[in-house]
Chains A and B, each alone.
Chain A
Amino acid sequence: MPSITKIRLEIISNLPVTHNCFRLELAGEGLPAVAPGQFVQLEVPGKFLRRPISVHDASPERIVLIYKTVGEGTKVLSQMVPGQSLEVLVPLGRGFDPGICGKHALLIGGGLGSAPLYSLAKSLLAAGKHVDVILGFNTAADVVLLDEYRALGTEPAVVTLDGSYGIKGVVTDAPIPEHDCFYTCGPLPMMCAVCRQLEGPGELSMEERMGCGAGFCYGCTIQTAGGPARVCADGPVFKKEDILW
């Protein structure tokens, strides 16, 4: 099991990016490297357990997280301001394997599942791969990260369930570009449809309610083709064949 670092990071910014999503930028010396698809356990003042949040973007001494205000914990988080600090455990989990990609990757994100795929897109592009992106959201107001993906030089196809932005429908209703592998992150039914319909090697990032986030409490175990697996430590990224739909 890889080494985990506990580190206190300063909030650089914590700003809304949609009506219920925030972009949190944290920085600190000694921050270990984080691979695409890995996550952190973030301290939330007044809450007993940390919150597992996937890393959207990382560079030396800086990480960016995109989170949705779903409960009390993330609400408290959204009220924190630059200058305050938060303790994180980092890096956690097994991220995406760029090794499954030949020349042409297809990335399919649903909702905030678009966030961890961003750093993957960045690293695949840096490795000279061709990257296509499909992003799905419920409605136009939820559309997020489009400009960031565009700034990488990709042009994501956007779908919304209600058709208020881009193509109306679900991600698999978008034209599927040529690809030799795919990576997906988002709601389980979406990832299930993607994994069933797309050919070639594929990986997906799972979500589960976690305790420790570091593989020793066995709170987030799911049954996989290879036996019981901890989403936090054996995942969150799994091969598509691993998941028992």
Chain B
Amino acid sequence: MVRDLRTKFCGIGLKNPVIPASGTFGFGLELADSFDLNVLGGISLKGTTLEPRFGNPTPRIAECEAGLLNSVGLQNPGVHALVNEKVPALRKLYGGCIIANISGFAVDEYRECCRIADACEGIDIIELNISCPNVHGGGMAFGTDARAAAEVTAAVRSVTHKPLVVKLSPNVSDIVAIARACEDAGADGLCLVNTFLGMRIDIKTRKPILANRTGGLSGPAIFPVAVRMVNQVAHACSIPVMGCGGVATAENVIEMMMAGASAVQVGSENLRNPFACKEIVEALPGVMEQLGIERISDITGCV
């Protein structure tokens, strides 16, 4: 039997639910010569700000059991390069859903950045990143306070008709409160979770491994927490949820969807295996067959 991998997110049809997560797949172009990107349900592009950013000093990567910490700090060429160069170049190669991940340091900056992204034809979804833990005075500061999250969501809502998805931080005590605030402020969907703020220390030098001292923890280590948060939010909100956090296998994709996700992002796994998303897509029909799943969209939120 043919297994149906198609799903929908915010009214947009996806050929499958597998999407490389923002920051773990560059602007899509980097791997375009290594495999056909069109196997992917969508691509979430690297977090972009109004102005170009160098990001944090190196080391920006630290390893840990079952995952890694990063403190890249939103290195990006700025939103003008995104809409004028990156997205048009990717659109030539890729027919699936292109998600622009927009970040910032102030409400006005988020609004302006999204206004520019809104005018870009190649972008299907705007993912509002209010959860980057590696920049100071912005990013996660909006994602850890319900009122600030609502304010930035509403500001961006007023300048875009594209589907607006807010990417949430797990570094909160009540993720449902933040999720509801974003929904009430006009978000069309939610993506969760971004990374957990963490730290590693080199015990020989007695110094933090990351030059930024702290960084965002991701990878299989966070998967169960992400599943729990997706499940809580999916039950509490009526807008669709994109599940993200430690997804590494086709089985993880199924689990995340059962928890309530309509589509699933794969992050850290790309860093150790650039072919991870392609391999997950290829493995899904077999896993669905074992589990007696005919249409993958049927399992969303069954738990």
- The residues of A with any CB-CB pair to B shorter than 8 Å are 1-4, 6, 47-50, 89, 208-212, 214-223, 228, 233
Decide if A48 touches B64 in the complex (CB within 8 Å): yes
On whether the beta carbons of A218 and B54 are closer than 8 Å, the reply is no
Expressed in whole angstroms, the minimum distance between the Cβ of A214 and any Cβ of chain B is 5
**Contact partner of B26 among A216, A220, A222, CB < 8 A?**
A216
Q: How far is the CA of A218 from the CA of B75 in the complex (A)?
A: 7
A219 contacts across to B, CB distance below 8 A: 58, 60-61, 70, 72, 271
Best-buried of B23, B46, B58, B62 by chain A (most CB within 10 Å): B58
Contacts of A209 in B (CB 8 A): 58-62
With A and B bound together, what is the CA distance between A218 and B270 in angstroms? 13
- B-to-A contact residues, CB < 8 Å: 23-26, 29-34, 46, 54-55, 58-68, 70, 72, 75, 219, 268, 270-275
State in angstroms the CA–CA spacing of A49 and B274 once bound together.
12
Asked if A2 contacts B33 (CB within 8 A), the reply is yes
Question: Within the assembled complex, what's the spacing in Å between the Cα atoms of A50 and B268?
Answer: 12
- Considering the chains assembled together, what is the distance between the CA atoms of A219 and B270 in angstroms? 13
Closest to B219 in A: A48
11 A-B residue pairs with CB within 8 Å: A1-B29, A48-B68, A212-B24, A214-B31, A215-B26, A216-B31, A216-B270, A216-B274, A217-B24, A219-B61, A228-B55
**With A1-B29, A48-B66, A214-B31: A223-B61 Cβ-Cβ less than 8 Å:** no
Bound-complex Cα distance A47 to B31 (A): 23
When distances are taken between beta carbons in the complex, the residues of chain A under 8 Å from B33 are: 1-3
B54, A49: Cβ atoms under 8 Å? Answer: no
Inter-subunit contact A47/B61 (CB<8 Å): no
Q: How far is the CA of A205 from the CA of B24 in the complex (A)?
A: 25
**Residue numbers in A under 8 Å from B31 (CB-CB):** 1, 4, 214, 216
A210-B24 in contact (CB<8A): no
How far apart are the CA atoms of A228 and B29 in the complex, in Å? 17
Please determine whether A212 and B274 come into contact, CB atoms closer than 8 angstroms.
yes
Task: Judge whether A89 and B274 touch: CB under 8 Å.
Answer: yes
Q: With contacts A50-B272, A89-B274, A208-B58 known, is A217 near B34, CB below 8 A? A: no
The distance in angstroms between the C-alpha atoms of A4 and B29, with both chains bound, is 13
Chain A residues whose CB sits within 8 angstroms of the CB of B60 once the complex forms: 209, 211, 218-221
Q: For A47, what are the chain B residues with a Cβ–Cβ distance below 8 Å?
A: 63
Known: A212-B274, A217-B26, A218-B23. 6 other contacts (CB 8 A): A6-B274, A48-B63, A209-B62, A216-B26, A218-B26, A221-B58
